[in-house]
Structure 1
Amino acid sequence: MSATPNPEDELAGTEQPFVSHLVELRDRLIRAFIAVAIMFGALSFWPGPSHLYDLLAQPLVANLPEGTKLIATNVISPFLVPLKITLLAAFMVALPYVLYQVWAFVAPGLYSHEKRLVVPLVVSSTLLFLGGVAFCYFFVFGQVFKFIQGFAPKSITPAPDIEAYLSFVMTMFIAFGAAFEVPIAVVVLARMGLVTVAKLREFRGYFIVVAFIIAAVITPPDIVSQLALAIPMCLLYEVGILSAGMFIKHTQPPKDE
């Protein structure tokens, strides 16, 4: 007659792996933080927080009336806002290393044939996010600010606050950077078996509606920025469907001889 298994015996030895995972997570978070801190120090030295803010404000200043400057309504804003922008720039520069730490933490749970794709995923995730930020800065900002100034009455002199502008910029950067990660999300969902490539194709029409709803909620209330976010999301969704098929094909376990 078999004895009833003791629950404590069944859980024996599970605490150590859990603690080791927490230690590894802590170490990787510290490495990511150190990388961002190093980039912050380097960017603070050159080109400097003030220059970085001037660079970030250039799309807005270029569309303001001649001689108009941004204002600071808070006493310490001229000091804090450039530092926040430097920290944002440091995170973007260190993003490849940060994403590598994330993928490296997940990698032990993958098969050997799947681990080979960690680096391509890190590279593609980084390039897509930075591509979304660059698209927002070089194209969307110019079109949005030009569109807004075209509707502004001549009797109004615009005087944007630097903190409000920073909040707007960060929201737009995160929105476009995350939107450009659509192919990665599609590939991961398909590889995890949560949805098939055929279902992704069937969901295409619904995704278009969802993309335009997201764009309407996140972006300013103008048609230019909404289209600039929704259309790339739809195109990248198609890229994700094509990539998902290739990714699944190359991450299948090798067949036994």
Structure 2
Amino acid sequence: MICGKTIREFRKKRNMSLKELAEKANLSVSYLCEIERGKKQPSLEVIEKLAAALNISKDALFDEHSPKGSGTTSPGERISILRRERGLSLSELAQKAGISATYLCQIENGNVLPSLATLKAIARALNVSPQDFLSSSHVGYKIRKIRQERGITQAELAKKAGVSTGLIGQIESGKVEPSIKTLEKIASALSLSPCYFVSDDDDITSLLRPMNPELKQLLVDPKVKSFLEMVADCTPEEFMFIMKFVQLYKEHRNKG
């Protein structure tokens, strides 16, 4: 989170008054005062304006003692900041993004990690780029999301993938981009194809859209999920065998 005290210290070091910094950052004096007193959290746009006005890196404005780490905020926290700055309620933003208010509340509280498709919908509703919500890389975000959804710790994933826990943490935070070999190890540990981490969610959405509602509902069945995880480990030959079996079954059913 942004530390208002840090902003005030930088301002005073540069012998700037509240009014001077506010004018330079194109903000109101009252709003800047509330930020410095810790009563309001600025959006990323405002942080960039303040950093430019103070001639420092925007990372320097984050509280290094924050429990979430230096310079990092979750997508939910960033969404909440932008939503409040635009004067939108949870219900209003949820309606604009096409999701439920309950789900949006869980995202903002950090209880769930939204898919990239959902982040894009929220970004459109707030008129910002989806990248404004991501403090980690595209690949790191997806790895963290699937790991947390499965209730696996970084240490457990690292052990299963044969890499260090520190490396998993650096990848998830976006500090390191994994090599193809490392990505293959992580994908294998999660029973997924490496392509999952580099493809856009829109590719998956395009496959799910034509499905009938009954089939979509069936996909959340635990038994079906277990089957899909087993399929993910198949060799190309094994997968082609399953495809041929399904095709033969459908042909037999149609004849009957």
TM range (shorter): under 0.3
Q: More relative contact order in 1 or in 2 (CA 8 Å, sep 6+)?
A: 1
Structure with higher helix content: 1
- In the superposition, the TM-score normalised over structure 1's length comes to 0.27
- In the superposition, the TM-score normalised over structure 2's length comes to 0.27
